[in-house]
């Protein structure tokens, strides 16, 4: 039986995990992910790539919303900044992709401070709507800055390579997304255990109390905005690389809502939850497709309603998930884990 153990040194508190078994499992998961392209076909590979990109985006959003407690509906705006920054750096400045992607993140992070500063006084839904407003303004500017962004005609990204992997190749793009996703998860997991991470959690739980304990609210709120948006910007850059063509339409408002849904369905505040949520929501249309195919409804029968019904099923699944598992998928995971770890003593 595994039990908790007292942490004796500061170094151990900072360590990612003190348990070698966790490392082994993480290693096995990564190995499975590396092997995946050899097992699945084109479409599933694209869906898997999308899951990985969404993971990066939601892990980023989780820093702001899950960890610091600042609800953001501005995801689509940050994704758009990252995507366009990356696309323009590659197309117009011919920067290598390895440089363009992180730069796109930093540009997004820096620009996010423009929204972060006015948002310092805001809370809850007021903040959510402000970030929503900011993202609409970003999309509007992109659409009207035609000389720079191509405006309504969009931005086409040439077929470039990232660490020798071609973005136009399904497997190549998958590995690019996998590398970035793994780096992001490790980075954020480390950050959560650092001084900043703990400051953010204190902010989330009660900002006035945190302030009275000497945590600089302005500094840590802005840092959270910066870190979160940088990661989201990187996700936007990956989206641009995957599609190789972006317009303002790519970054619709639904992305912001979807990202929050991923966070909630997965479990707010946990990196593992964010990953599970991203996978669940991206796979949801496929799940709906499968469920309907079971009863013999496919797109081929001629009844056009099947597509609308898929959308309805998606909505219903979200509602059901929130109802039966308020802690998100990570809650199910934790309970299952505890059950088997403590078996046969478990109840």
Partner 1 sequence: MKALTYVALALCLGTPAMAQTPGVTDTEIVLGAVLPMSGPASFPGLGASAGSRLAIAEYNAKGGIHGRTVRMLVEDDGYVPSRAYQGLVKLADDGILALVGTSGGGSLGAMLPVIDEKKIPTMVSTSVSNAAVEPVRPYVFMLGADYEDMFFAQIKYISENDKPEGPYAVIAQDDDYGAHVEAGVMMAVEKLGLPSVPPVRFKRGQKDFSAEILRLRSQGIGALAVGGVIAETPGVLKELAKLRMNIPTAHAHTGAIDMTARLSAPYNMAYYAADYVVPIASEAAAGFRELARQHLGEEEQKSLNRFSLTGYLGTKAVLAAAEACGRELTRDCLNDNLKKIDALDSGGLSSPLDFTNDRNTAAREVQIVRVNPMENTVEPLTGFVSYR
Partner 2 sequence: MDYFANLVASGLIFGSLYGLIAIGFAVIYKTTGVVNFAQGEVMMFVLYFSWMVGTFVAAPLWLLLLIAIVVGGAFGALLERVFIRPMIGQSQFSIIMTTVGVAIVLRGLVPIFWGVESEPIDAPLKSQLYEFGPVMMLGDQIFALALFVAISAAAWAFFRFSRVGVAMRAAAHDETAALLMGINVRRLQGLSWMIASAVSGVAGVCYALIVARAPDMWQIGFQAFPAAILGGLDSPLGSAFGAVVVGIAASLSEGYIGYGLKEISGFVIIIAVLMVRPYGLFGEKELERV
Provide the mask over 102-141, with x wherever binding to partner 2 is found by CB under 8 A and - wherever it is not.
----------------x--xxxxxx--xx-xxx-xx--x-
Chain center to CA of 207: 25
From the list partner 2, partner 1, none, partner contacted by residue 6 (C-beta under 5 to 8 A by kind): none
Stretch that binds partner 2, among 84-92, 103-111, 176-184, 317-325 (CB under 8 A): 317-325
CB-neighbour burial class of residue 306 (10 A; exposed 0-12, middle 13-18, buried 19+): middle
Q: How far is the CB of 65 from partner 2 (least distance, A)?
A: 9
Q: Is 322 in the site for partner 2 (CB under 8 A)?
A: yes
Q: Is 35 in the site for partner 2 (CB under 8 A)?
A: no
Rounded Cα gap, residues 268 and 280, in angstroms? 14
- Residue ranges binding partner 1 (CB under 8 A): 41-43, 46-47, 50, 143-144, 151-154, 156, 168, 170, 239, 242-250, 252, 254, 285, 299-300, 302-305, 307-308, 310-311
Q: Is 312 in the site for partner 2 (CB under 8 A)?
A: yes
Q: Is 215 in the site for partner 2 (CB under 8 A)?
A: no
Provide the mask over 247-286, with x wherever binding to partner 2 is found by CB under 8 A and - wherever it is not.
------x---x--xx--x---x------------------
Q: How far is the CB of 227 from partner 2 (least distance, A)?
A: 21
Q: How far is the CB of 60 from partner 2 (least distance, A)?
A: 18
Q: How far is CA 247 from CA 2, 140, 142, in A?
A: 51, 11, 9
For partner 2, the binding residues (CB under 8 A) are 71, 118, 121-126, 129-130, 132-134, 136-137, 140, 143-144, 206, 208-209, 212, 253, 257, 260-261, 264, 268, 305, 308-309, 311-312, 314-316, 318-319, 322-323, 326
């Amino acid at each position: 039986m595994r039990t908790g153990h007292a942490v004796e040194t500061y170094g151990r508190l900072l360590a990612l995990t003190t348990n070698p078994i966790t490392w082994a499992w993480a290693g096995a998961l990564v190995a499975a992910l590396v092997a995946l392209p050899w097992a699945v076909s084109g479409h599933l590979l694209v869906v898997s790539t999308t899951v990985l990109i969404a993971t990066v985006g939601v892990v980023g959003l989780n820093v702001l919303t899950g960890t610091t407690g600042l609800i953001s509906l501005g995801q689509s705006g940050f994704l758009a900044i990252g995507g366009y920054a990356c696309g323009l750096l590659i197309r117009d400045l011919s920067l290598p992709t390895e440089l363009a992607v992180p730069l796109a993140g930093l540009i997004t992070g820096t620009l996010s401070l423009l929204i972060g500063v006015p948002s310092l006084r805001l809370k809850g839904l007021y903040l959510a709507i402000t970030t929503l407003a900011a993202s609409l303004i970003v999309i509007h500017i992109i659409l009207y800055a035609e000389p720079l962004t191509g405006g309504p005609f969009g931005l086409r990204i040439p077929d470039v390579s990232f660490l020798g992997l071609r973005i136009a190749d399904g497997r190549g793009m998958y590995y690019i997304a996998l590398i970035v996703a793994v780096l992001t998860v490790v980075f954020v997991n480390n950050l959560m255990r650092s001084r900043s991470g703990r400051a953010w959690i204190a902010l989330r739980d009660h900002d006035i109390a945190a302030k009275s304990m000497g945590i600089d609210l302005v500094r840590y709120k802005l840092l959270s905005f910066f870190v979160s948006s940088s990661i989201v910007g990187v996700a936007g850059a990956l989206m641009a690389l995957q599609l190789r063509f972006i317009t303002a339409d790519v970054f619709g408002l639904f992305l912001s809502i979807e990202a929050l849904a991923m966070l909630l369905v997965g479990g707010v505040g946990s990196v593992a939850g964010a990953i599970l949520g991203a996978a669940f929501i991206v796979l949801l249309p496929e799940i709906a497709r499968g469920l309907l195919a079971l009863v013999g409804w496919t797109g081929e029968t001629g009844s056009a309603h099947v597509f609308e019904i898929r959308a309805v099923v998606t909505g219903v699944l979200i509602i059901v998930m929130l109802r039966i598992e308020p802690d998100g998928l990570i809650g199910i995971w934790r309970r299952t884990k505890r059950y088997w770890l403590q078996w046969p003593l478990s109840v």
